[in-house]
Amino acid sequence: MVTVDNRETNIVAMVAVKANSVKIPLDNQRISMLINVEKEKLVVDLYYNQQKNVRQIAQEARMSFRDIAAILKKKRDSSQSW
């Protein structure tokens, strides 16, 4: 026997399943940019605010020394231009 409560629960469950199955096209370049911007912020914060060294940053951010050095160089160059 289906009661009103069960019917509402079933409808809510069906809507949730439908919502989860909808595929939203994502632009990989935009995602990559967001990830890069967030990683740059993290590296700058760890290096300048938390005084972590490059090795510690590499472990925490899971980045290569080369990428960390490039971010820090970009930050230094932009701050020197002022």
Q: What is the pLDDT of residues 26-55, one digit of tens each?
A: 566 666 666 888 999 999 999 999 999 999
Nearest to 57 by CA among 79, 80, 81, 41: 41
> Is the pLDDT assigned to residue 4 strictly greater than 80?
no
> Crossing angle of helices 54-61/65-80, nearest 10°?
110
Average model confidence (pLDDT) across the chain: 78
What is the average pLDDT across 73-82? Answer: 85
- pLDDT confidence of residue 35: 83
Where does 24-80 sit in CATH, by number?
Answer: 1.10.10
Question: Backbone phi, then psi, for 66, in 5-degree steps?
Answer: -60, -45
Q: Is the pTM of this model over 0.85?
A: no
Note the Cα 24 to chain centre separation in Å. Answer: 17
